[in-house]
């Protein structure tokens, strides 16, 4: 299975409650294309969302999201870093997302260096998602505030595109025919 990520802008903004119930049509579409929604992070202002899926390939996720009328910008296949590290924090521990750029695709060594720099400044690296062929990544961290993340990333010597406080979203339970979904589309 492939790890596939989707970083998208939301307009209008969403709230965590909008993702409590997964409409049957969305659940059916994901199942049809064998897409498993693993986890998401919603920006505190509700205007950005990062989603993590597993699927046979990125095209399966594209097909499912296209059927759900989602914009395909910001979708990429890649790797997860930090999930197999000893003492890895839970995905739900992240309270900030940092969008980063590297001089070259970061690989495990790049994430090791970022995690070490973050940990020295009191910021905990939770997970990192990196595209297969691009020199960018997204890191989920736990930190006391935005300034702590900014300081730690300066020490890591990476370019920062954005840092945003987030709420962890676990995949909701699919709606039944008798329930009324809050949201008409998942990420």
pLDDT per residue as tens digits for the range 17-75 = 888 877 777 888 899 999 999 999 999 999 999 999 999 999 999 999 999 888 888 89
Closest CA to 128 of 120, 137, 118: 137
Burial 107-132 (b: 16+ CB within 10 A, else e): eeebbbebbebbeebebbbbbbbbbe
Cα 49 to Cα 38, 41, 61, 113, 176: the distances in Å are 13, 6, 16, 26, 25
- CB-side neighbour CA atoms (13 Å) of 86: 0
> pTM, whole model, 2 decimals?
0.88
CA dihedral 88, 7, 172, 182 (to 10 degrees): 150
Could you tell me what percent of the chain has a pLDDT over 90?
A: 59
CA dihedral 82, 38, 141, 154 (to 10 degrees): 80
Look at residue 181 in the predicted model and tell me its pLDDT: 39
Look at residue 176 in the predicted model and tell me its pLDDT: 57
Look at residue 114 in the predicted model and tell me its pLDDT: 87
Domains of the chain: 2-174 (3.30.70)
On the question of pLDDT at 182 being above 60, the answer is no
Helix, strand or coil, per DSSP, at residue 186 = coil
Backbone angles phi, psi at 140, to 5 degrees: -105, 130
């Amino acid at each position: 299975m492939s790890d596939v990520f989707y970083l998208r802008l939301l307009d209008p903004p969403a709230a965590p409650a909008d993702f409590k119930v997964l409409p049957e049509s969305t659940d059916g579409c994901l199942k049809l294309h064998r897409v498993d929604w693993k986890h998401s992070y919603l920006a505190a202002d509700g205007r950005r969302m990062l989603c993590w899926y597993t699927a046979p390939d990125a095209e399966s996720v594209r097909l499912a999201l296209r059927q759900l009328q989602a914009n395909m910008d910001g979708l990429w296949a890649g790797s997860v870093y930090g999930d197999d590290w000893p003492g890895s924090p839970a995905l739900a521990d992240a309270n900030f997302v940092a969008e980063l750029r590297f001089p070259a695709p970061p690989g495990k060594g790049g994430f090791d260096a970022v995690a070490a720099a973050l940990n020295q400044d009191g910021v905990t690296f939770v997970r990192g998602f990196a595209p297969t062929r691009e020199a960018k990544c997204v890191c989920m961290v736990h930190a006391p505030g935005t300034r702590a993340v900014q300081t730690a990333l300066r020490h890591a010597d990476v370019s920062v595109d954005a840092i945003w406080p987030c709420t962890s979203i676990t995949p909701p339970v699919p709606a039944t025919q008798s329930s009324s979904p809050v949201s008409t589309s998942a990420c």
